[in-house]
Each structure stands twice: as C-alpha cells, then as structure tokens.
Amino acid sequence: MNRKIVHIEDYKKFVGMETVERVKEKAKLLQGLRVAHVNSTFYGGGVVEILSPLVLLMNSVGINTEWRVIQGSPDFFGVTKKMHNALQGGKINLGKRKKQIYEDVVYQNAIRNHLDHDIVVIHDPQPLPMINHYRKKGPWVWRCHVDLSHPNPVLWEYLKPFIEKYDAAVFSLKEYAKPLKIPQVFIMPAIDPFCIKNKRLTEREVKERLEHYEIPTHRPLVVQISRFDRWKDPLGVIRAFKIASKKIDATLVLLGNIAIDDPEGEKVYDSLLEARSEKIVIISREDTALVNALQSRAAVVLQKSIREGFGLTVAEAMWKGTAVIGGNVGGIRYQIEDGVNGFLVSSVKQASERIVQLVKDEKLRHSMGERARETVKKKFLIIHSLEKYLDFFNAFETNYKLNCSVLEDSYLEQSCSN
C-alpha cells in the first residue's frame, strides 16, 4: 500500500502558494538539522495534537525531527499534575518527597534518552529538569504550553533555576512572559486541517458517528469537548446549560478523555455523572471522528475554561465554521474576537445568555462561524506554527545564543536580549 504523509505543498489549498513557498525557503537554511521534541505523553491533551502533525511536517521539509516521550510512575504524574495545576495558579505543597520523585524520574529518563541533537525542545514542566543531565550539543529550548498568567510563586521559584539553564523559553502568549535571564519567544499553537479530527466530514459520516454513540440530534446540540479537568469548568458548563434550558430546547454533550499523564481526570469525570439526564449526555471515549462530528454538527461549541494556555478545541470548532463561546481567559482571548467570530464569557450567567442567543439565531451562528473559519485559516493552522519554529531555529547563532534582532516583534517581548 502506498503510504503518504502530509507535505507542505498540501497546504496550498488553504494558505496559498506564496505562504508555502516562503516557508520552504526558510526551511532550506535548516536542511539536515537534527531536532528532538520531548514531552510526557503520546496520548491525550493539546501538546500531542500539536506534536503529531508538527513533527511529521518538520521532517517533510528536511529537518530530521524526533519525538521522545518520557516515562513515569503514577507517583511522578501525580506530582507533575499538581505542578501543572500550580503553574496555572493552583496550590501545591511542594515538599522534599515530591521534588525527589520529580527529579529522580526525570534523571532516569535522561539516562535512557541520548539527546545529542542540534536543537532540543522540551515541552512543559514534566521533563524540564532533563537539561541538568546533558552536555549540550546545541540550543535547548523550554516550550511551555500552560496558562502562565498566575503561576504559584513557590513552584515558580523552584522551577526557575531549571528554566534558566535553557537557551530560550517559548510561551504561547506575550502576557505569559516572566522575569527570566533567558530570551523569551512567543508562538501560538495551531491545528492540523488534514487529520480525521479536522477534515471535512460528509453529512452521512457525521450522522453515522452521532448515531453510533446514540447522541440525540432532534434538538440543537450544545457541546464541550475537553479533558476532564477542573480548569475546563465542566460543572460551569452544566450549570450554564441548565439555566439556558429554561429558554431553549437543546441537548448538552460533554465529551472528554483522560490523558495518561493526568491522574485527576477520573475523579472529575465521576463528579459529573450525577448530572446525566435525557438532555445532558456525558461521554468518555477516545474517538477523533466523534470529536469532528460533534464540532461540525453543534449549534454551539463551548470552551468555558477558567485557565487556558491556548484552546485547541476552540480552533478546531472554529475551523468547522461553528459558533464558539469561550472563557475570557488566556489564549482563548486571542482566538476569539468577542462578538465577531465567537463570544467570550466570564461567568456562568453570561455563558447561559450566549447559549440562548446562539441557539435561537441561526443567521448569527453562520456569520460568526464563517469568520471563525477565516481566522483559523489565517493564523492557526500547523503551517503557521511551523513557520514560526523555522524563524526561531534560524535565529540561533553558532554559540547557541538567540539573535533576537532577526526575529519580528510578534515573537518577542522587550526583555529578549543577548
């Protein structure tokens, strides 16, 4: 069988020839470069969604890119999940035992992984201390995907010495910039328009998927798709839907999965189950075609997060021309322009009002949805992310220093200096 991966040329139909040629030019300067991405799960969550297409596309433009996943015990992922929560502002009791589990497991992974690449990109806090155990052969970059607007100060002080060993840090938004001794660069995530989750499905395929899971379609669908995580505020979604239901007749579908590196998911899922009813469907299944079918068919997609580095689910639904209501936090505020290509909300009450408005007004849903798709086409497809990474890689000098002066302002905040 002839197997094929997505090539940069395939993006022409979405972004045009000029963009594709420009990106190819940028890649020419990096031919044969050896890059390693390191994260903590092959499955579940936005980082995987980004790395899966990005790593392949990087290879397709001539960069020898690998993806390594660190292994960890449940104890380790218990600690790193607490760190994830605390980086987003939660509490953490960071005792000696937790630090030891964290640093020991990372050390074991460092022994197992021989990273002698020209550039190493470490994703999120889980593998962060790996840098302590290598003699660098090129720049090491820490790419943090979480909403860093209110990190827990105790945790931040503990992580900072690890972070400052890197040659640069990459965050999703400028407002996540921190007082650090290293340059900070900003790259927003993006989605893969070719994968099963995001390609256009026929009406029949959508119907088939929804029927398979016995999702009722005789009423408009209000949908949230997210890991079962308290920062995604699934309880707030249920409350908003219940209030809205007094004025509209709709079905709420909450679809979620539980990432391997997220030990809290099960508990959050269980806490929702008592809300199940004829009009509230809660599903925990891993089925990307179902994600697509729901995002395509929904009258409204919600992403009512309380913290969100960047909502891939928001971009995915916008790409399908669906009206999205997003929490007015983090990256979502850069994806949705309130009232133009979706709505931003800051409370359960606001969410319920917007649900009612959108379910009642089909014309508004369509016009917002069209603008939403255009936004994603312009800014949030993987090719855009690839271009940013290429610019970023090209900006490193032979001494591993980042030459910020060759990067456009959009990548930088003021403290970027050599």
Residues that bind ligand UDP (CB under 6 A): 45-46, 49, 197, 225-227, 255-257, 288, 291, 310-313, 316
Q: How far is the CB of 336 from ligand UDP (least distance, A)?
A: 13
| Nearest CB to ligand UDP, comparing residues 34 and 199 | 199
| Nearest CB to ligand UDP, comparing residues 152 and 257 | 257
Three-class SS of 21-65: HHHHHHHHCCCCCEEEEEECCCCCCHHHHHHHHHHHHHHHCCCEE
Q: How far is the CB of 78 from ligand UDP (least distance, A)?
A: 18
Q: How far is the CB of 118 from ligand UDP (least distance, A)?
A: 27
Q: How far is the CB of 262 from ligand UDP (least distance, A)?
A: 8
DSSP 172-230: SSGGG--S-SS-EEE----B-TTSTTTSPPPHHHHHHHHHHTT---SS-EEEEE--S-G
| Nearest CB to ligand UDP, comparing residues 19 and 226 | 226
Q: How far is the CB of 171 from ligand UDP (least distance, A)?
A: 14
| 3-state helix vs strand vs coil in the chain, percent to 5 | 45, 15, 40
| Residue showing the smallest CB distance to ligand UDP in the complex | 46
Element (H, E) at 140: strand 140-143
| Nearest CB to ligand UDP, comparing residues 127 and 139 | 127
* Beta-bridge partner residues of 36: 66, 120
Q: CA–CA separation, 44 vs 57, rounded Å? A: 20
Amino acid present at 337: E
Q: With CA atoms as reference, report the closest residue to 374 among 302, 299, 315.
A: 315
Q: Are 167 and 402 in contact (CB under 8 A)?
A: yes
Which residue has 């133009």 as its token pair?
Answer: 340
| Nearest CB to ligand UDP, comparing residues 45 and 183 | 45
| Nearest CB to ligand UDP, comparing residues 225 and 281 | 225
